[in-house]
Structure 1
Amino acid sequence: MYVKNRMTVNPYTIAYDAPINDAVEIFRDNNLKRLPVTDNEKVIGILTQGDIQKVSPTKATSLSIFEINYLLSKVTVKDAMSKNPITISPDSLLEEAAVIMRKNRIGTLPVVENNKIIGIITESDIFDAFIDLLGFKENGSRITVESKDVPGALADMADIFKSFDANITHIVAYHGDNGKSDVVIRTNTLNTNEIEKRLLEHGYRIEHVLKNDKK
């Protein structure tokens, strides 16, 4: 899966020379946490709500609201933004975006193509993709099987499901350090008793079964 499959296209942005009050309004009206800062269409910074607080008078100030608004009107976005943000290409893998965010402890990446911002991807987008990849919201059964890390194990399990005409919709393997893996298999079949029995007969251990029937 690629960044372009999960990013928000045409995101809200703000010009570097815009008054900070404009950013406050965009944050408030659209329930945003971060804004890419642009010079024309080139990303040159990121502005967060925390950045705005740093350039705003504290709550202990003796200034009136009118004085505060006047001072803020003199502050521009470039005075508060974080410069030189990390960006990513729309053709990058979603895993690459996750690694970059994790490594740099950031929650947002502007998506740039030909030096122009075309989207934005956030940690929430990656969480949603993870949930979808596991099929957690779909009807059916989720069976976690412990298997040895040997060639053909996945094919053997797939044949078992096929023999019961059960379609495997999602599959994920978590490799351990003991020569075994936890294989999470999601199928659209709700009655998995016979499948579980056959898996046990083939030497697999059933660790967990979850049913999801929203009807």
Structure 2
Amino acid sequence: MLVKDIMTKNVVTASPNDTVLDALKLVKVNKIRHLPIVEGETLVGIVSDRDLRSVSPSVLASMDIDLLEKTLVKDIMIKDVITITPDESVEDAARLLYKHKIGCLPVIQDNKLVGILTDGDILYCFVEKYHIDVDVEGLC
């Protein structure tokens, strides 16, 4: 199976000049953990929900919330992003995620962001491929 078969194609993205507050809102509203940062269609970085939380003031701290409106995504984003192409195998994607201890791979074709593949996508693929019975009701 190939990356293009299981990747998310409509990727939520942010701009390097967006604020951390904007990025936090995108992550929360869209219920995502990874936010690719693009200029046009070109990937220039990525931030995770952890990255965003690490620069967010604690509710117990006296730090001014206005800082989130002043800090730009480009100041906290990871710039050296590990990526994959749509025609690579899901197995290769899983190896990259495991080797680098990361949760997602932006999918790049012709220097453009065309999708994103997460560890959850690969787990879902594994469950489907091996017909693993999942009792969702019994999980919670």
The TM-score with structure 1 as length reference comes to 0.59
Identity %: 38
Hey, what does 1:55 align to over in structure 2? 55
Hey, what does 1:118 align to over in structure 2? 114
SS at match of 1:82: coil
Q: How far is the alpha carbon of 1:128 from its aligned partner? A: 1.1
Q: 2:127 is matched with which residue: 125, 131, 141?
A: 131
Return the letter of the residue paired with 2:83.
T
Greater Cα radius of gyration, structure 1 or 2: 1
Q: How far is the alpha carbon of 1:59 from its aligned partner? A: 3.5
Hey, what does 2:8 align to over in structure 1? 8
Q: How far is the alpha carbon of 1:113 from its aligned partner? A: 0.5
Hey, what does 2:24 align to over in structure 1? 24
Note if contact 1:54-1:80 (Cα within 8 Å) is conserved in structure 2: no
Q: How far is the alpha carbon of 1:55 from its aligned partner? A: 1.9
Q: Distance in 1 between matches of 2:127 and 2:55?
A: 38
Question: What residue ranges of structure 1 are gaps of 5+ in the alignment?
Answer: 138-215
Q: How far is the alpha carbon of 1:53 from its aligned partner? A: 2.1
Q: Distance in 1 between matches of 2:60 and 2:69?
A: 20
Q: Distance in 2 between matches of 1:62 and 1:99?
A: 42
Q: Distance in 2 between matches of 1:62 and 1:55?
A: 14
Hey, what does 2:138 align to over in structure 1? none
Return the letter of the residue paired with 2:74.
K
Q: Distance in 1 between matches of 2:95 and 2:56?
A: 33
Q: How far is the alpha carbon of 1:60 from its aligned partner? A: 3.5
Q: How far is the alpha carbon of 1:127 from its aligned partner? A: 0.9
Question: What residue ranges of structure 2 are gaps of 5+ in the alignment?
Answer: 134-140
Aligned ranges 1:182-193 → 2 under 5 Å: none
Hey, what does 1:71 align to over in structure 2? 67
Return the letter of the residue paired with 2:41.
E
Q: Distance in 1 between matches of 2:21 and 2:94?
A: 32
**Where is the strand percentage greater, Structure 1 or Structure 2?**
1
Q: Hey, which bits of structure 1, 4+ residues long, moved more than 4 A?
A: none
Note if contact 1:34-1:48 (Cα within 8 Å) is conserved in structure 2: yes
